[in-house]
Amino acid sequence: MTYPDIQLCINGEWRDAADGRTLAVLNPATGRELGRVAHAGKADLDRALEAARKGFETWRDMTAADRSKIMRKAAALMRERADDIARLLTQEQGKPLAEAKGEAMAAGDIIEWFAEEGFRVYGRIVRSRGSLALRQMVLKDPVGPVAAFTPWNFPINQVVRKLGAALAAGCSMLVKAPEETPAGPAALIRAFIDAGLPPGVLGLVYGNPAEISSYLISSPIIRKITFTGSTPVGKQLAALAGQHMKRVTMELGGHAPVIVAEDADIAVAVKAIAGSKFRNAGQVCISPTRFLVHKSIGAEFASALAKHAKGLKVGDGLEEATQMGPLANPRRLAAMAEFTRDALERGATLLAGGERIGDAGNFWQPTVFADVPLDARIFNDEPFGPMAGIRTFETLDEAIVEANRLPFGLAAYAFTRSLKNADLLARRVEVGMLWINMPAMPSAEMPFGGVKDSGYGSEGGPEALDAYLNVRAVAVMNV
């Protein structure tokens, strides 16, 4: 499928930027330009904001059943178009076609689940303490137009989690999507437009992230902010939103620990965790990164993980045999080189990878380190790439202390055959999501979000709708 130039979507119409500005979209596998994406200016943002205001007035007054029909149709369109969307996504982001198609198909599931969850936005009747003539009600209403800011690593997934909950709650949404990967979000928004979504309910813009975020967050039209990205940027946006008393959901960076207990099944652990580690070339907020392995099985686990890494086929995501694609941009290559240099200088043992592949595209070898000291960058800063660091522990309590040492608290993994260990880990590992004896398996019906510096709020489960709803108390005396 030929990669198209990507336009803005304002008031249900696809249009160029008012001043004609565009940005280049590059293929991370080749470094060559794929196409152009429109760069929004203030005039475009003003039109988009006004459209979102009017779209909200229409959408909030539709029944949950009518909203659900449109959302379900959009879900069906995403599934029907998944093959074409996947090719666009692979070209702009780099992930293998199978992963790209999985992302497009999962969007259909997420939309469909939220379409049904919209029926379950319930208020309640509260009995009066003093008079049967007094009726007390708790009402839940949509908060208003929402501004969403999303990253390049999962261009469809990170948008659909936000808009699914927002639309189900009755909100309109203006999405500021990533300039590096604009076609995926555009395909998602197009599915909703083609499904009959009223004008203005969903808008899509691209451009300078700092300029757009400050402009949208300060607008009195926007009543809710949702952001996925780095912790430093998330803190800046949350502070700006606080100045304007805007509600905020933050899904921020992680540094996921993996605890492999003495009684773990090593084969199960390596098979489950290796897939999660090298999916999307490690450019995943919940990617397992800090591997804490019991001393008695440390060497065996490290050898097995390194063997898996060496066996991965790295290449252009459009090629059928590819298991891991390129990194998103040259900045990630530079980061991988720096993490590698730092780990080796501090005494870590390189078991696999550690080098760039070729000189065309952003390819990096799947990399595994053993004997990583605690002061190495890989055990303190999120690498956001195909890199795993391993160190051993003697007691499970020691491993839990290390897992909780950093300020991040997004995701964690553990492997054990003991229910006692599993219960201890569930109670004491400080993360928003913990997977035990399995790879990461997020789903629409489960909460998705972190604690501590990894953010607050959920982008999954019934809890996701809470952030898009105002709770109001209404009392009526029968006279």
Catalytic residues: 251, 285
- DSSP assignment of 322-369 equals -SB---SSHHHHHHHHHHHHHHHHTTPEEEE--SB-SSSSS-B--EEE
Spell out a b/e string for 104-140, using b for 16 or more CB atoms within 10 Å of the CB, else e.
bbbbbbbbbbbbebbeebeeeeeeeeeeeeeeeeeeb
Going from the C-alpha of 353 to that of each of 191, 299, 392, 445, 452, the distances in angstroms are 40, 17, 21, 37, 32
55: how many CB neighbours lie within 10 A of its CB? Answer: 24
CB 204 within 8 A of CB 8: yes
Record the tokens describing residue 329, joined without a space. Answer: 């941009």
Going from the C-alpha of 306 to that of each of 245, 365, 465, the distances in angstroms are 49, 11, 42
Q: In which residue are the tokens 């490290």 written?
A: 302
3-state secondary structure of 81: coil
Q: In which residue are the tokens 């999303």 written?
A: 150
CB 322 within 8 A of CB 314: yes
What distance in Å separates the CA atoms of residue 268 and residue 122, rounded to the nearest whole number? 42
Antiparallel, parallel or unpaired: β 134-142 and 124-126: antiparallel
